Chain A
Amino acid sequence: MASVTYDHVVKRYTADITVVKDFNVEIKDKEFMVLVGPSGCGKSTALRMLAGLEAITEGQIRIGDRVVNNVAAKDRDIAMVFQSYALYPHMSVYDNMAFPLQMQRMKKDEIDKRVKNASRILGLDNFLKRKPRALSGGQRQRVALGRAIVRSPKVFLLDEPLSNLDAKLRGQTRIELQKLHRDLETTFIYVTHDQVEAMTMGDRIAIMNAGILQQVGTPGDIYDHPANLFVAGFIGSPTMNFVPASVQNGTAKASGFEVKLPKPIDAAKGTLGFRPEAVTDRIVDGGTAMEMKVDVVERLGSDQFLYGQVGSDQVTARVDPRLSVQPGDKVRLGLDTRTLHFFDAESEQALL
């Protein structure tokens, strides 16, 4: 049980190649923190520095109150689950889980107790004698988790642990991981490139791009109040609509419609953002409306997404699934102005 603090952490490989830039995050005790970002954004490097697999170029990483910059990986009291699971292929499931404890020279009966306990939690009781190659992908993944659990570490590090599983299993494991986090009452730090995993699992999310931390917050917070254009576009599926707009007297003017901004902003030009669910077939009297020329219709059963042109801009709308729309149709859609976003043209920071 411990908090984790990244204090002005920098990772530089050469003078020109900096993969993590001035990274500051405080992860609370027992928190489930998700580091999310596109590939190459530095999220894995940030995790590996915490694990002790990469040296820290500048700054400090603290686990609890202890600065771990110069502490060996094995002495940091952490456990890591790798994307590839990294199971020892020549050892049985039991030995795989016992290995870290044997390295600590723990007594045999204590090892046995802990391995049995972990295998019970993970439902691996019947597989203890098998080699990893005789297990399914999901079972291997659980062995990797088991190897982390037996150590009862202060912090769990998970590096894209679900990306080798098929879609259905991924959904199940997501829920199991959340349960596990609740049962173990330990700090979890979870790296992923999948914003759905981030939104569904994280107590808080830290979004990174190009080595820079973009925003930290609860999933709801980040979804409703993205700090900048990148975060707004990264979180949410289908992605937020972005249309270039100019502002005059508190009204934003896009190529196909105008909208009165809920509060005045200090910019003449920028990008207007609104999520697909803000564009619907419900048109309120006196509200903002637009006309869309539909290109593609996506029916998901529970939802219906329309992709098309509004003026000269691409817009995605979420409409009633019972509405009958064909590609090529022109439909009138209403815009919910309560969830508008506006991003500065230069800095791309959210102004609204």
Chain B
Amino acid sequence: MSVAAAARTESTALRFSPRWITDRLGGFVLHVAVIGLTVAWVVPTLGLLVTSFRLPADIANSGWWTALAPPYKFTLDNYSQMLQASNLGTGFFNSFMISIPATIIPVTIAAFAAYSFAWMKFPGRDWIFLALVGLLAVPLQLTFIPVTTVFVKLGLTPQHLTSLGLPPFIPLWLAHAGYGLPFSIYLLSNFFRALPSDLFESAEIDGAGTLTVFFRIVLPLSVPALASLVIFQFLWVWNDLLVALIYVGGTASVAPVTVSLVNLVGSYGQNYQLLTAAAFFSMIVPLVVFLSLQRYFVRGILAGSVKG
């Protein structure tokens, strides 16, 4: 009791001191910035959501915020029309066919690579790592023509692959893996490097080989990093339009949902209302991925390892 009372007197004494003012002001500025950013992100999304429930005529004539006041004239027509559009189902299927391997492949390769960069000694390690980080700065568009040329020369085109009975998405898996690897390796190797070296030495004395250390110690301890990387890569591939169009083209049988979405809208912007509904519909998948992996972001997974 007396301690609490004393603390309270002290804080009253400090009120309106310069330190108190800067503390409060700093907190205030931070809150304003966070709230401002949140509003800036949420308002357009909200606008899109409201629009997706409005009649085409209303969308054309008034702003989305007017729909928030009575009389309410919401409709589900956009959603039912959008779902009836012929190739949306194929689009979803294709998106899964593209996104799942295009997430698993780079994350798996990156985990192995990051482990070797972080904990194995080999000549030129630091230079190779530096080059890899440098690749983060290469613009995607720069790679389209050379990579396409190589793919065509190797026969990695949807038509050719289909004729061989192989999945037509292989070039896209490879491309997404390549684009995702530098960041994935960078992120994971930073995480692996932060693992305490005592763990590795202890495992070495216990008789664990490199692969055992990787599978039984490094991977289980890196679940949070792996989960966030999977989310990043999945979202990037799921939302991608350009890379898919370049490497497999816009044919309905191979196009992902993003291409189907674009095709809902006519060349002159008609059927705009369908796009809003479809955008929200396609958002469900990334949301499910995010929410289901979120529980792996356990803080303090390393707790109890090396501190007394």
Partner of B304, one of A74, A79, A100, A140: A140
Q: Bound state CA distance, A298 and B203, in angstroms?
A: 47
Task: Establish whether residues A88 and B199, one from each chain, have CB atoms under 8 Å apart when the complex forms.
Answer: yes
**Given A84-B306, A88-B199, are A100 and B207 also a contact pair (CB < 8 Å)?**
yes
Interface string of B206-231 (1 = CB under 8 A from A): 11100010001100110000000000
List residues of B (41-79) whose CB comes within 8 Å of A's CBs.
none
Does B37 sit within 8 A of A, measured CB to CB? no
Does A293 sit within 8 A of B, measured CB to CB? no
Does A131 sit within 8 A of B, measured CB to CB? yes
Q: Bound state CA distance, A41 and B294, in angstroms?
A: 47
Interface string of A54-78 (1 = CB under 8 A from B): 0000000000000000000110001
Q: Bound state CA distance, A100 and B206, in angstroms?
A: 4
Residues of B within 8 A of A51 (CB): 201, 205
Partner of B204, one of A73, A147, A164: A73
Minimum Cβ distance to chain A for residue B94 (Å):
37
Partner of B198, one of A82, A135, A137: A82
Does A53 sit within 8 A of B, measured CB to CB? yes
Minimum Cβ distance to chain A for residue B216 (Å):
8
Task: Establish whether residues A84 and B198, one from each chain, have CB atoms under 8 Å apart when the complex forms.
Answer: yes
Task: Establish whether residues B305 and A89, one from each chain, have CB atoms under 8 Å apart when the complex forms.
Answer: yes
Task: Establish whether residues B198 and A74, one from each chain, have CB atoms under 8 Å apart when the complex forms.
Answer: no
Does B302 sit within 8 A of A, measured CB to CB? yes
Q: Bound state CA distance, A86 and B197, in angstroms?
A: 9
List residues of B (7-63) whose CB comes within 8 Å of A's CBs.
none
Task: Establish whether residues A87 and B304, one from each chain, have CB atoms under 8 Å apart when the complex forms.
Answer: yes
Residues of B within 8 A of A141 (CB): 308
Interface string of B264-308 (1 = CB under 8 A from A): 000000000000000000000000000000000000111111111
Does A8 sit within 8 A of B, measured CB to CB? no
Task: Establish whether residues B196 and A88, one from each chain, have CB atoms under 8 Å apart when the complex forms.
Answer: no
Does A175 sit within 8 A of B, measured CB to CB? no
Partner of B208, one of A82, A103, A132: A103
Does B2 sit within 8 A of A, measured CB to CB? no
**Given A84-B196, A90-B220, are A131 and B204 also a contact pair (CB < 8 Å)?**
no
Minimum Cβ distance to chain A for residue B194 (Å):
13
Task: Establish whether residues B205 and A132, one from each chain, have CB atoms under 8 Å apart when the complex forms.
Answer: no
Residues of A within 8 A of B307 (CB): 84, 164
Q: Bound state CA distance, A164 and B206, in angstroms?
A: 22
**Given A103-B212, A132-B304, A132-B305, are A86 and B198 also a contact pair (CB < 8 Å)?**
yes
Task: Establish whether residues A80 and B202, one from each chain, have CB atoms under 8 Å apart when the complex forms.
Answer: yes
Q: Bound state CA distance, A85 and B303, in angstroms?
A: 12
Residues of A within 8 A of B204 (CB): 52-53, 73-74
List residues of A (224-281) whose CB comes within 8 Å of B's CBs.
none
Does A223 sit within 8 A of B, measured CB to CB? no
Residues of A within 8 A of B217 (CB): 88, 90
Does A331 sit within 8 A of B, measured CB to CB? no
Partner of B205, one of A74, A83, A84, A140: A74
Residues of B within 8 A of A53 (CB): 201, 204-205
Residues of A within 8 A of B302 (CB): 89
Residues of B within 8 A of A137 (CB): 308
Residues of A within 8 A of B198 (CB): 82-86
Residue of B nearest to A166 (CB): B308
Q: Bound state CA distance, A70 and B159, in angstroms?
A: 57
Residues of B within 8 A of A135 (CB): 304
Task: Establish whether residues B202 and A82, one from each chain, have CB atoms under 8 Å apart when the complex forms.
Answer: yes
Q: Bound state CA distance, A221 and B247, in angstroms?
A: 80
Partner of A131, one of B206, B208, B212, B304: B304
Partner of A73, one of B196, B199, B205, B303: B205
Q: Bound state CA distance, A83 and B198, in angstroms?
A: 9
5 contacts between A and B (CB under 8 A): A52-B205, A73-B204, A78-B205, A90-B217, A147-B206
Query: B residues touching A (Cβ–Cβ < 8 Å)?
Result: 196, 198-199, 201-208, 212, 216-217, 220-221, 300-308
